[in-house]
C-alpha cells in the first residue's frame, strides 16, 4: 500500500567565493533622454539576472526598469565580472551596479544643485526627476540634467565601480575567519507517497521557504526556487550517471539518464522569507544554487517517515527503497524475542 510521509531539511549557503577574490565591475551612463545604459560583464543564462541588474540601476537612478538598456557579456568591451557562478550575480554584480549608478547620480546632483539653488546633498533621484528632498515640486527631469551636465558643464554623467566581497582568510591555527561575506538560509518540507510493495516514491508536495535578502524580483526568485526543486527531485529519485569498468558512461543520453518531466513535479509552495542584508544591493543576497540544496534531504527524510527506511545513497530508486524495506522486514522477523528492543 501507499504510505505517506513528511520530511524536513534546512540549509545555509554562502554567496560568492571564499579565499579567491571575485570582483564585479559595472559602468552606468545616464543619457540625455533620461534613459540609462548599463555595461556589465556578467552573463544571462535565463535566470533573469540582467533584469535584476537593470532594476538595481533603475532604483539607484530613480528611473523605470524599462529605461535601462543593459549591455552584457562582451569580453571586448564590458567591465570585468567573475561570472554567473556561486549564486553571486545579484549580490556582487548588483553591488557594483548600484555603486556605478550612484557615481553617475552624484554627477547629476552636482550639476543640478546650482540649477535648483540647493546643495547637492539636498537632492534625490526619483520618478525620472532630480528633485529637492522634501520639496519634490522643485525638480528637473533627469534627462534635462544629463544633457546640461554634458553640453554645458562638460561633465557627462557616467559612473563606474567595482565591488569585491570582503572576506577574512581563515587562521591556520584557530580556523577562525570570515570565509564569506553573507549567507542565505532555507527550509524545505517534502511530502511523499511510498508504495511499500514496489518501493516507488512519488513526491506529492514541496513547501520551500527561502531567505534571499530583499527579493528584488519575486517572480524570478520563485522561478529559481521551482527550478532548483526540480533538480533536487531528480537528484533525490532519478538521476545517476552510471559507468562501466573502463570508465565509459553507460547512460549518456536522456533515454536512460532520467530527468524529471512535468509529470514528476509535485505541487510547490514557495515562501520568500524577505529580510534586509545591509551589505547587499537594496538588501538583496542571492537565491540560485541554494534552491536545490535541501530538496533531496527533505525527500529522504520523508521516505523514512513513510516507511521507516534510510536511503543513504542517492538516487532513492524504487529498487533501492524496496530492498531497504525488505531488509527491514527480514531484520524484524529474525529478531530474537529475548533481546530487549
Site for other proteins contains 241 (CB under 8 A) = no
CA 156 to chain centre: 34
Which of 34, 48, 199, 286 forms a contact with other proteins (CB under 8 A)?
48
Instruction: Name which of 22 and 291 has its Cβ closer to other proteins.
Output: 291
Quick one: 51 or 164, whose CB is closer to other proteins?
A: 51
* Least Å from the CB of residue 235 to other proteins: 12
Q: How many residues bind other proteins (CB under 8 A)?
A: 36
Closest approach, Cβ 335 to other proteins, in A, equals 43
Beta strands in the chain (DSSP E): 2-14, 24-30, 36-40, 68-72, 123-126, 129-132, 135-141, 158-163, 183-195, 201-210, 267-272
Candidate list 37, 122, 187, 226; residue touching other proteins; CB under 8 A: 226
Per-residue cell: 341? 528492543
Q: Measured between alpha carbons, how far is residue 326 from residues 103, 194, 199, 323 in Å?
A: 66, 14, 10, 5
**Does residue 269 carry a catalytic annotation?**
no
In Å, how far are 9, 158, 202, 327 from 317, measured between CA atoms?
A: 20, 56, 11, 15
Scanning 129-137, 159-167, 193-201, 255-263 for contacts with other proteins by CB under 8 A, the matching segment is: 255-263
CA 136 from centroid of its chain's CA atoms: 36
Helical pair 218-233 and 295-307, crossing angle rounded to 10 deg: 50
What DSSP state is assigned to residue 18? S
Q: Indicate the burial class of 160 (C-beta count within 10 angstroms; 0-12, 13-18, 19 or more).
A: middle
**Stretch touching other proteins by CB under 8 A, among 91-99, 185-193, 215-223, 321-329:** 215-223
Among the listed residues 176, 253, 312, 337, the single contact to other proteins using CB under 8 A: 253
* Residue in 217, 280, 315, 324 binding other proteins, rule: CB under 8 A: 217
Active site residues: 289
Binding footprint of other proteins on the chain (CB under 8 A): 45-48, 51, 55, 58-59, 64-66, 214-220, 222-223, 226-231, 253-255, 259-263, 265, 268
Amino acid at each position: 500500500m501507499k504510505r505517506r510521509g513528511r520530511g524536513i531539511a534546512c540549509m545555509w549557503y554562502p554567496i560568492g567565493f571564499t579565499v579567491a577574490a571575485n570582483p564585479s565591475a559595472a559602468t552606468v551612463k545616464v543619457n540625455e533622454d533620461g534613459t540609462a545604459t548599463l555595461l556589465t560583464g556578467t552573463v544571462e543564462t535565463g535566470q533573469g539576472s540582467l533584469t535584476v541588474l537593470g532594476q538595481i540601476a533603475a532604483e539607484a537612478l530613480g528611473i523605470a526598469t524599462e529605461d535601462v538598456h543593459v549591455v552584457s557579456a562582451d569580453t571586448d568591451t564590458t567591465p570585468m565580472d567573475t561570472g554567473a557562478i556561486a549564486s553571486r550575480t545579484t549580490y556582487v554584480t548588483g553591488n557594483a551596479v548600484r555603486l556605478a549608478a550612484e557615481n553617475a547620480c552624484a554627477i547629476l546632483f552636482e550639476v543640478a544643485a546650482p540649477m535648483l539653488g540647493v546643495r547637492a546633498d539636498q537632492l534625490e533621484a526619483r520618478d525620472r526627476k532630480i528633485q529637492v528632498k522634501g520639496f519634490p515640486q522643485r525638480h528637473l527631469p533627469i534627462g534635462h540634467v544629463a544633457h546640461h551636465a554634458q553640453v554645458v558643464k562638460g561633465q557627462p554623467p557616467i559612473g563606474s565601480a567595482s565591488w569585491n566581497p570582503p572576506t577574512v582568510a581563515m587562521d591556520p591555527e584557530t580556523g577562525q575567519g570570515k570565509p564569506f561575506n553573507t549567507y542565505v538560509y532555507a527550509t524545505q518540507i517534502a511530502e511523499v507517497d511510498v508504495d511499500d510493495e514496489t518501493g516507488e516514491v512519488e513526491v506529492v508536495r514541496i513547501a520551500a521557504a527561502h531567505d534571499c535578502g530583499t527579493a528584488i524580483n519575486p517572480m524570478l526568485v520563485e522561478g529559481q526556487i521551482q527550478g532548483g526543486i526540480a533538480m533536487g527531485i531528480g537528484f533525490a529519485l532519478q538521476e545517476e550517471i552510471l559507468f562501466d569498468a573502463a570508465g565509459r558512461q553507460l547512460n549518456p543520453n536522456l533515454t536512460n539518464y532520467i530527468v524529471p518531466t512535468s509529470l514528476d513535479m509535485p505541487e510547490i509552495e514557495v515562501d520568500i522569507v524577505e529580510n534586509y542584508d545591509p551589505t547587499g544591493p537594496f538588501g538583496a543576497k542571492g537565491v540560485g544554487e541554494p534552491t536545490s540544496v535541501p530538496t533531496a534531504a527533505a525527500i529522504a527524510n520523508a521516505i523514512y517517515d513513510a516507511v521507516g527506511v534510510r536511503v543513504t545513497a542517492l538516487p532513492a530508486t524504487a529498487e533501492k527503497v524496496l530492498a531497504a524495506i525488505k531488509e527491514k522486514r527480514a531484520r524484524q522477523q529474525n529478531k530474537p524475542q529475548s533481546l530487549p528492543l
